[in-house]
């Protein structure tokens, strides 16, 4: 968009897209202008610009295409995955476009919007009891795959996860900051694909950039220092003892995924800073109300940590913060609890301020 003088103009993307899948990635890095950032310049990478609204669109298309290339996924074969929602929504988009049936297992604690979006995109959603946590939905997906001969997407173990963040998300960051300092990069983790893939790229291409990882204050799996017990195929054997249910959907399942392990053993982060759920929600609301940037609870949590980093960082530091998805995915969650449906006193007063007000 240009706006030299007068009205803004745009020029199109200069290409026609062969399918919705070609529109994944190349998400914008946007400067934060109105929220005080303690002398630092803070940018956000807004993954809501992906076609199905989250960072997981990248992994979804790559899991399917890597399996097509290797022949492990046959034409028309059913795909199955355990997901906290965004991977399922991304896979549902990809499977709709490519013609694969999709079954998703998801704990019944994740937002209602997620189930309905997946079903809207044509997927079948099998709910698992929240008491069985992430490991429960994971084991259900594995059992269904075995029983029916379905293709298990395995986001928590597959190389296709971090590889796509190395090939796309990480490359985009390096390209966009080509002429700019990048002092800190801040992200959370779910499967760990984002941190492991981007970590590979930044450690090589921007060794001066400090990488900050975050996790929920009441579920500090990495912070606890307690190793994850695994099956021989790298799957989690049991729920991690440091896990507690937390409101930051999409972050920190009740196990340390194998994909995340690369970031731990590879030393891809310089600091681990926990964040509390209410702070995450407050920051997501601030981003919406003060910047017009709509993100979910995990984006709010990452931004809260970016602000904490800004506070300690030398003046003039440049910080990049991942925003994994859109806020619209959280209408039924605590993020919208204090956002009213009915008119409040101020809105009623506005309505009554013209004489033709028609109120019952
Ligand atoms: N935030 C949200 C809302 C997510 O759905 C996810 C993925 N589950 C993440 C963050 C973390 O991304 P990754 O799996 O790449 O670690």
Of the residues 222, 251, 258, 321, which should be mutated to test ligand 1's pocket, given the most ligand atoms within 8 Å of the CB?
251
325 CB under 6 A from ligand 1? yes
Say whether both 191 and 295 belong to one domain.
Answer: yes
- Mean pLDDT along residues 300-320: 98
- Mean pLDDT along residues 294-312: 98
pLDDT of 355 reads 73
pLDDT of 159 reads 98
> How many structural domains are present in the chain?
2
Q: Which of 119, 152, 185 is the last residue of a domain?
A: 152
Q: Does the pLDDT at position 346 exceed 60?
A: yes
Say whether both 41 and 123 belong to one domain.
Answer: no
- Compute the distance between CA of residue 346 and CA of residue 352 in angstroms, rounded to an integer: 10
How far, in Å, is the centroid of ligand 1 from the Cα of 191? 7
pLDDT of 357 reads 63
Say whether both 213 and 328 belong to one domain.
Answer: yes
pLDDT of 356 reads 75
Q: Does the pLDDT at position 228 exceed 80?
A: yes
Rg for the chain (alpha carbons), in Å?
21
Residue closest via CA to ligand 1's atom 2 equals 250
Is residue 353 assigned to a domain?
Answer: no
Say whether both 87 and 125 belong to one domain.
Answer: yes
pTM of the model: 0.96
Give me the domain span that covers residue 143: 56-152
- Compute the distance between CA of residue 209 and CA of residue 191 in angstroms, rounded to an integer: 22
Say whether both 108 and 214 belong to one domain.
Answer: no
Say whether both 248 and 326 belong to one domain.
Answer: yes
How far, in Å, is the centroid of ligand 1 from the Cα of 181? 26
Nearest to 56 by CA among 23, 87, 85: 87
Q: Give percent of the chain above pLDDT 70.
A: 99
Is residue 258 assigned to a domain?
Answer: yes
Q: What angle do CA 157, 161, 163 make, to 5 degrees?
A: 120
Q: Which atom of ligand 1 is nearest to the CA of 249?
A: 3
Say whether both 216 and 282 belong to one domain.
Answer: yes
Query: Could you list the active site residues?
Result: 56, 298
Q: Does the pLDDT at position 359 exceed 60?
A: no
- Mean pLDDT along residues 233-242: 92
Distance of CA 298 to the CA centre of its chain: 7
- Tell me the pLDDT band of 3, cut-offs 50, 70 and 90: confident
Q: Does the pLDDT at position 360 exceed 60?
A: no
Instruction: Answer whether 277's CB lies under 8 Å from 248's CB.
Output: yes
How far, in Å, is the centroid of ligand 1 from the Cα of 56? 7
Say whether both 67 and 200 belong to one domain.
Answer: no
Of the residues 87, 113, 159, 194, which should be mutated to test ligand 1's pocket, given the most ligand atoms within 8 Å of the CB?
194
Say whether both 109 and 64 belong to one domain.
Answer: yes
């Amino acid at each position: 968009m240009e706006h030299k003088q007068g009205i803004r103009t745009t020029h199109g993307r200069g290409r026609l897209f062969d399918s919705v899948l070609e529109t994944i990635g190349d998400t914008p890095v946007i400067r934060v202008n109105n929220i005080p950032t303690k002398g630092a310049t803070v940018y956000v990478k807004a993954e809501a610009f992906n076609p199905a609204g989250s960072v997981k669109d990248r992994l979804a298309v790559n899991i399917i295409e890597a399996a097509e290339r290797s022949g492990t996924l046959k034409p028309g074969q059913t795909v199955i995955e355990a997901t906290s929602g965004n991977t399922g929504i991304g896979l549902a988009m990809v499977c709709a476009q490519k013609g694969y049936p999709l079954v998703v297992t998801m704990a019944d604690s994740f937002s209602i919007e997620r189930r309905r979006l997946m079903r809207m995109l044509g997927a079948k959603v099998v709910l698992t009891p929240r008491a069985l946590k992430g490991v429960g939905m994971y084991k259900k997906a594995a059992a269904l795959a075995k029983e029916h001969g379905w293709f298990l997407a395995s986001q928590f173990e597959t190389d296709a996860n971090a590889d796509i963040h190395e090939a796309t998300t990480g490359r985009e960051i390096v390209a966009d900051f080509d002429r700019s300092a990048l002092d800190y990069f801040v992200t959370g983790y779910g499967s760990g694909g984002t941190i492991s893939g981007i970590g590979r790229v930044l450690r090589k291409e921007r060794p001066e950039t400090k990488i900050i990882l975050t996790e929920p204050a009441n579920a500090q799996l990495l912070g606890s220092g307690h190793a994850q017990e695994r099956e021989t195929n790298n799957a989690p054997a049991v729920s991690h003892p440091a896990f507690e249910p937390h409101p930051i959907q999409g972050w920190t399942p009740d196990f340390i995924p194998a994909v995340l392990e690369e970031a731990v053993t590879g030393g891809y982060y310089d600091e681990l800073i926990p964040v509390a759920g209410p702070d995450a929600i407050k920051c997501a609301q601030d981003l919406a109300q003060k910047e017009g940037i709509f993100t979910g609870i995990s984006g709010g949590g990452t931004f809260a940590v970016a602000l904490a980093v800004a506070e300690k960082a030398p003046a003039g530091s440049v910080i990049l913060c991942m925003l994994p998805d859109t806020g619209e995915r959280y209408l039924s969650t605590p993020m919208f609890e204090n956002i009213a449906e009915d008119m409040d006193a101020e809105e009623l007063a506005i309505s009554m301020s013209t004489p033709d007000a028609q109120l019952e």
